[in-house]
């Protein structure tokens, strides 16, 4: 196996001396294997998303482990000896309940399924908060309070025919709200959101704005049918407008704000960036006005996923994968799923100045009517989504066999996800559908190798 | 506060895969299916026992509710301890359905949501298994049952119980029994057959691309629980001298918890549960065939960790303040065990073909 070389070898020999480490260093096959640069980790098993940055120093590792415990910690109702502040309304009581083994969740197995990590963002047709519900449906409540409602789910299948005449079924999911605590306004817009994997966010945070903006092409000047728009959002910590990077519509500018928003929206933990309860102004709300988690605790949550390593691609020397990579480029998937990016300075120095292969441009793209949620968010329209990174995607179902793909989890396989692409990605999808089966398999093998 | 990985494992996994790439020793590939089969059988047997003991606990809580006398309270407490034992002996393999199906939080959430528990007790809501299965893990599972059986100070008597508490207790034990039965069913060949993913690793398993990948998960899970005991369960209350961080303090069962976690390592390693198993095809036999001295040392380390935990005088709550040297000694033994698993056994497994 050649997938491990210079960098890892150096780490190994500098770290702890090991007898096996004296033999010669093999030439690097290619630096694509280092999806996360020097931070790349090499597990292929169910723990693949749980390893800290490969180059994290000893102090960082200690802090990472402390943060790991916090990420798993379940919160309870105030007053409590420890870990109070949950709710009064919430979606889950621990980070890990949605981010299963740091990866994705599953869609609800049935209407009202309380264990799913899928949530519904809410709003009006104008992109405003939904009166009485805010911006998210909290499906649980501490005892004595009423959840805002439950998520209903319906499944349909649609047949897709390839150019070669073969057919496949793709699944479509229809989400709704049942048992709402007050009637839903007519203007309600629902946007289902699957919990995303949390590794690699530190690296994506460290990519300079200028590099991402250089990829933007708002008016499609190059005429390739692909625009790529930045989302501009309010950074609560820096008190300024900054590029949005995280979340399905790139609504959060930093890892800290991403985790603060999740603590606030998903768990009901008020914090320095979101000091109010998530139900403020609603008649099913309570709360003691006290901050549920401190700045230090918030930073600890954040540090955890900032310092999670990105798994290396696998089988990069297989001919099938190599040919699949060429097809990925030929199909212009790389126009949005941009392989190489570079990180700049970052307070966590292990993240800084790395060449990484996340397969995203962190920009918004019109993905067509079939994927549209018709709920604008910041500058993102109801048809736009941020390109999700593809690094580590092939391990999604190794980590959680129930996990699926796309923002609402409708795609049971990577192929289904491709077949739902539309809008700016229509060309790539059509390209894929025109390929003969053997070529389609190569392209899939490549994506699955990531 | 369960971590997903320990410090040493993090380093070891990274380092050893790096080394592996730079060496080209032509070690022949071995068939590890017998070892995986033995290990998977230990897991299945542990869950079967858990399922049976949890059902027994449910029966005793029903009896206590019907005939609330001290002797029945003691029966229920004993049944809790007996169900707790296989659960703690399963924490050396917290992977698969227990992790993926949300069963770990449902069975063993900590801390107890005492505020909500009181609110439920004070309400007029009917308390059933179905009701509790709709609640968070922090309102059910071992620790909620423990809290109800022993009370905050561990001194509860039958006279202290309200009728609502008996009702809650019985439903809570019912939910625990249901979860335990489901966990066993998910692993069982007649049910979800998760066991086949381990046994058939590298031969069509949906989870493990190779036998080595399965062995790595099994061994790293042993390291994770050693880390959890040394650096979490013992260290947090001990270093902060704060009993609100002690997991099984109501029942004063913490020492048993720790020792049973070590037995979990022992069971998997020796390939037996309650003295039964195909020990000739155990992880120990595999390690012994590659490094006999390591096998001997590991067995000694496991036993020493158990012995030192059990040698702590009195309850763990008392020892945190009054017998710190003994606690520290036990903690060190568990750390040594962790270091050996992650520093030598995991690398050895990592080097096999």
User: Are A200 and A186 within 8 A, CB to CB?
Assistant: no
Checking if the pLDDT of B71 tops 50, the result is: yes
Helix (H/G/I), strand (E/B), else coil: A290: coil
pLDDT at B170: 98
Helix (H) or strand (E) holding A89: strand A89-90
Q: Which of B21, B102, B213 sits opposite A4 (nearest CB)?
A: B21
CB proximity B209 to A under 8 Å = yes
Q: How far, in Å, CA of A205 to CA of A362, rounded?
A: 10
pLDDT bin (cut points 50, 70, 90) of residue B30 is: confident
pLDDT at A281: 82
Spatial CA neighbour of A66 closest among A293, A267, A303: A303
Q: Which of A224-238, A275-289, B167-181, B307-321 has the least mean pLDDT?
A: A275-289
Q: How far, in Å, CA of A76 to CA of B112, rounded?
A: 8
Mean predicted confidence (pLDDT) in B33-45: 98
Contacts of B230 (CB under 8 A, 6+ apart): B331, B334, B335, B338
In chain A, whose CA is at the least distance from the CA of B221? Answer: A47
Contacts of B186 (CB under 8 A, 6+ apart): B96, B97, B101, B192, B194
CB proximity B115 to A under 8 Å = yes
Helix (H/G/I), strand (E/B), else coil: A81: coil
Dump pLDDT digits (tens) for B260-274: 999 999 999 999 999
Mean predicted confidence (pLDDT) in A143-163: 96
Q: What b-and-e string marks burial along A379-389, b requiring 16 or more CB atoms within 10 Å of the CB?
A: bbbbbbbbbbb
Checking if the pLDDT of B301 tops 90, the result is: yes
Helix (H) or strand (E) holding A73: none
pLDDT bin (cut points 50, 70, 90) of residue A92 is: very high
Contact check, Cβ <8 Å, A18/B19: yes
Contact check, Cβ <8 Å, A4/B22: yes
Spatial CA neighbour of B304 closest among B341, B329, B339, B273: B329
- CA dihedral sign, ordered B292, B294, B295, B296: positive
CA distance B345 to chain A (A): 14
CA distance B353 to chain A (A): 12
In chain B, whose CA is at the least distance from the CA of A67? Answer: B3
DSSP at A138: -
Checking if the pLDDT of A11 tops 60, the result is: no
Contact check, Cβ <8 Å, A100/B100: yes
User: Are B45 and B273 within 8 A, CB to CB?
Assistant: yes
**Exposed, middle or buried, A30 (CB in 10 Å: 0-12/13-18/19+)?**
exposed
- More confidently predicted of B21 and A395: A395
CB proximity B14 to A under 8 Å = yes
Residue A232 forms beta bridges with which residues? A243
Contact check, Cβ <8 Å, A47/B217: yes
3-state SS track over chain B = CCCCCCHHHHHHHHHHHHHHHHCCCCCCCCCCHHHHHHHHHHHHHHHHHHHHHHHHHHHHHHHHHHCCCHHHHHHHHHHHHHHHHHHHCCHHHCCCHHHHCCHHHHHHCCCCCHHHHHHHHHCCCCCCHHHHHCCCHHHCCHHHHHHHHHCCCCCCCHHHCCHHHHHHHHHHHHHHHHHHHHHHHHHCCCCCCCHHHHHCCCCCCCCCCCHHHHHHHHHHHHHHHHHHHHHHHHHHHHHHCCHHHCCCCCCCCHHHHHHHHHHHHHHHHHCCECCECCHHHCHHHHHHHHCHHHHHHHHHHHHHHHHHHHCCCCCHHHHHHHCHHHHHHHHHHHHHHHHHHHHHHHHHHHHCC
Contact check, Cβ <8 Å, A77/B13: no
In a mutational test of the A interface, the residue from B7, B15, B26, B127 whose CB has the highest number of chain A CBs within 10 Å is B15
DSSP at A377: B
Mean predicted confidence (pLDDT) in A151-168: 97
Q: How many CB atoms lie within 10 A of CB B277?
A: 19
DSSP at A270: -
B4 vs A65, A102, B293, B319, CA distance in Å?
Answer: 9, 9, 29, 28
Q: List domains and CATH numbers for chain B.
A: 32-351 (1.20.1420.20)
pLDDT at B206: 85
Helix then strand then coil, in percent of chain A rounded to 5, is: 30, 15, 55
Q: How many CB atoms lie within 10 A of CB A24?
A: 9
Dump pLDDT digits (tens) for B164-219: 999 999 999 999 999 999 999 999 999 999 999 999 999 999 888 899 989 999 99
CA distance B72 to chain A (A): 30
Checking if the pLDDT of B49 tops 70, the result is: yes
In chain A, whose CA is at the least distance from the CA of B216? Answer: A45
Bridge-based pairing of strands A355-356 and A364-366 is: unpaired
pLDDT at A9: 29
Contact check, Cβ <8 Å, B21/A77: no
Dump pLDDT digits (tens) for A384-443: 999 999 999 999 998 888 899 999 999 999 999 999 999 999 999 999 999 999 999 999
Q: Which of A2, A62, A76 sits opposite B138 (nearest CB)?
A: A76
pLDDT bin (cut points 50, 70, 90) of residue B4 is: low
| Mean of per-residue pLDDT scores for chain A | 90
Q: How far apart are the first and last CA of chain A?
A: 16
| Mean of per-residue pLDDT scores for chain B | 92
Contact check, Cβ <8 Å, A47/B120: no
CA distance A28 to chain B (A): 11
Mean predicted confidence (pLDDT) in B216-232: 93
pTM (two decimals): 0.87
Q: How far, in Å, CA of A3 to CA of A276, rounded?
A: 48
pLDDT at A29: 45
A359 vs A35, A267, A327, A446, CA distance in Å?
Answer: 9, 30, 15, 12
Distance of CA A238 to the CA centre of its chain: 23
Q: Is A423 left (phi over 0), alpha (psi -120 to 50) or beta?
A: left
Contact check, Cβ <8 Å, A51/B10: yes
Q: How far, in Å, CA of A327 to CA of A384, rounded?
A: 25
A140 CB neighbours in chain B (<8 A) are: 136
Mean predicted confidence (pLDDT) in B36-63: 98
**A and B: number of Cβ contacts within 8 A:** 172
pLDDT at A43: 84
Q: Which of B2, B13, B113 sits opposite A72 (nearest CB)?
A: B2
CB proximity B138 to A under 8 Å = yes
User: Are A118 and A192 within 8 A, CB to CB?
Assistant: yes
pLDDT bin (cut points 50, 70, 90) of residue B7 is: low
Checking if the pLDDT of A8 tops 50, the result is: no
Q: Which of A8-12, A347-351, B245-249 has the least mean pLDDT?
A: A8-12
- Phi, psi angles (nearest 5°) of residue B236: -65, -55
Dump pLDDT digits (tens) for A305-329: 999 999 999 999 999 999 999 999 9
B250 CB neighbours in chain A (<8 A) are: none
Question: Own/partner pairs for A171-177, CB < 8 Å, 24+ apart?
Answer: A171/A410, A171/A411, A171/A412, A171/A416, A172/A410, A173/A107, A173/A408, A173/A409, A173/A410, A175/A120, A175/A151, A175/A408, A176/A151, A176/A152, A177/A120, A177/A137, A177/A149, A177/A150, A177/A151, A177/A152
Contact check, Cβ <8 Å, B115/A15: no
Dump pLDDT digits (tens) for B74-125: 999 999 999 999 999 999 999 999 988 889 999 999 999 999 999 999 999 9
- Phi, psi angles (nearest 5°) of residue A178: -120, 160
Dump pLDDT digits (tens) for A52-63: 999 999 999 989
Dump pLDDT digits (tens) for A107-140: 999 999 988 999 999 998 888 899 999 999 999 9
A23 vs A9, A20, B290, CA distance in Å?
Answer: 10, 7, 21
CB proximity B131 to A under 8 Å = no
Mean predicted confidence (pLDDT) in A235-260: 97
User: Are A345 and A403 within 8 A, CB to CB?
Assistant: no
In chain A, whose CA is at the least distance from the CA of B211? Answer: A45
């Amino acid at each position: 196996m050649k997938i491990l070389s210079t960098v890892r070898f150096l780490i190994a020999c500098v770290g702890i001396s090991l007898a096996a480490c004296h033999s010669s260093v093999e030439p690097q096959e290619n630096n694509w294997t280092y999806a996360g640069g020097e931070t790349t980790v090499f597990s292929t098993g169910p723990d693949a998303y749980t390893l800290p940055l490969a180059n994290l120093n000893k102090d960082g590792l200690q802090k990472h482990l402390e943060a790991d415990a916090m990420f798993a910690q379940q919160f309870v109702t105030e007053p409590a000896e420890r870990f109070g502040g949950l709710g009064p309304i919430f979606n889950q009581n621990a980070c890990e309940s949605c981010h299963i083994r740091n990866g994705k969740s599953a869609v609800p197995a049935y209407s009202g399924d309380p264990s799913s990590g899928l949530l519904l963002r809410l709003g009006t047709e104008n992109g405003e908060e939904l009166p009485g519900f805010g911006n998210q449906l909290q499906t649980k409540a501490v005892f004595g309070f009423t959840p805002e409602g439950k998520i209903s789910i319906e499944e349909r299948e649609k047949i897709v025919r390839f150019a070669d005449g073969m057919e496949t079924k793709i699944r479509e999911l229809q989400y709704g709200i049942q048992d709402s605590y007050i009637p839903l306004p007519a203007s309600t817009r629902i946007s289902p959101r699957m919990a995303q994997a949390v590794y690699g966010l530190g690296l994506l945070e460290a990519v300079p704005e200028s590099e991402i903006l250089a990829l933007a092409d708002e008016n499609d000047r190059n005429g390739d049918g692909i625009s790529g728009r930045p989302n501009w959002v309010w950074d609560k910590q820096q008190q300024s407008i900054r590029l949005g990077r995280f979340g399905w519509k790139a609504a959060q500018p930093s890892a800290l704000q991403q985790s603060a928003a999740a603590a606030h929206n998903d768990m009901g933990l008020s914090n320095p960036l979101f000091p109010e309860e998530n139900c403020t102004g609603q008649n099913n709300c309570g709360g003691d006005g006290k901050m549920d988690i401190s700045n230090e605790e918030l930073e600890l949550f954040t540090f955890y996923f900032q310092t999670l390593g990105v798994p290396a691609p696998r089988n990069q020397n297989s001919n099938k994968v190599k040919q699949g990579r060429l097809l990925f480029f030929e199909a212009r998937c790389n126009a949005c799923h941009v392989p190489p990016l570079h990180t700049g300075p970052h307070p966590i120095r292990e993240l800084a100045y790395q060449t990484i292969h996340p397969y995203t441009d962190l920009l918004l793209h019109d993905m067509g009517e079939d994927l549209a949620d018709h709920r604008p968010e910041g500058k993102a329209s109801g048809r736009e989504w941020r390109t999700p990174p593809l690094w580590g995607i092939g391990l999604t179902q190794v980590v959680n066999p129930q996990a699926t793909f796309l923002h609402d989890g409708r795609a049971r396989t990577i192929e289904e996800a491709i077949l739902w692409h539309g809008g700016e990605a229509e060309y790539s999808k059509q390209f894929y559908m025109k390929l003969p089966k053997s070529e389609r398999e190569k392209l899939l093998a490549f994506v699955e190798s990531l | 506060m369960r971590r997903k990985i320990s410090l040493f494992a993090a380093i070891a996994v990274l380092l050893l895969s790096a080394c592996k790439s730079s060496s080209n020793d032509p070690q022949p590939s071995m068939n590890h299916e017998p070892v995986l089969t033995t290990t998977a059988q230990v897991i299945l047997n542990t869950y079967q026992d858990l399922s049976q003991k949890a059902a027994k606990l449910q029966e005793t809580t029903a009896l206590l509710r019907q005939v609330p006398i001290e002797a029945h309270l003691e029966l229920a407490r004993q049944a809790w301890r007996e169900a707790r034992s296989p659960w703690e002996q399963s924490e050396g393999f917290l992977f698969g359905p227990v992790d993926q199906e949300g069963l770990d939080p449902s069975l063993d959430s900590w801390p107890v949501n005492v505020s909500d528990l009181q609110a439920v007790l004070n309400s007029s809501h009917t308390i059933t298994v179905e009701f509790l299965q709709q609640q968070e893990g922090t309102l059910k599972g071992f620790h909620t049952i423990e809290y109800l059986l022993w009370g905050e100070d561990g001194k509860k008597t039958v006279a202290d119980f309200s009728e609502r508490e008996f009702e809650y207790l019985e439903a809570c034990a019912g939910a625990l029994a249901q979860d335990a039965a489901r966990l066993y069913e998910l692993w069982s060949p007649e049910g979800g057959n998760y066991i086949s993913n381990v046994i058939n690793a590298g031969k069509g398993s949906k989870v493990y691309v190779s036998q080595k990948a399965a062995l790595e998960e099994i061994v790293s899970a042993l390291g994770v629980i050693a880390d959890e005991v040394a650096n979490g369960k013992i260290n947090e209350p001990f270093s902060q001298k704060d009993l609100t961080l002690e997991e099984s303090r109501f029942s004063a069962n913490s020492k048993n918890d720790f020792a049973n976690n070590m037995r979990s390592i022992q069971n998997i390693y020796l390939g037996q549960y309650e003295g039964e198993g195909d020990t000739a095809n155990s992880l120990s036999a595999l390690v012994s065939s590659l490094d006999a001295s390591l096998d001997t040392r590991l067995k000694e380390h496991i036993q020493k960790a158990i012995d030192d935990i059990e040698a702590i005088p009195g309850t763990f709550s008392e020892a945190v303040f009054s017998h710190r040297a003994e606690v520290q000694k036990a903690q060190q033994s568990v750390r040594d065990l962790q270091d050996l698993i992650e520093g030598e056994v995991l690398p050895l497994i990592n080097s096999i073909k």
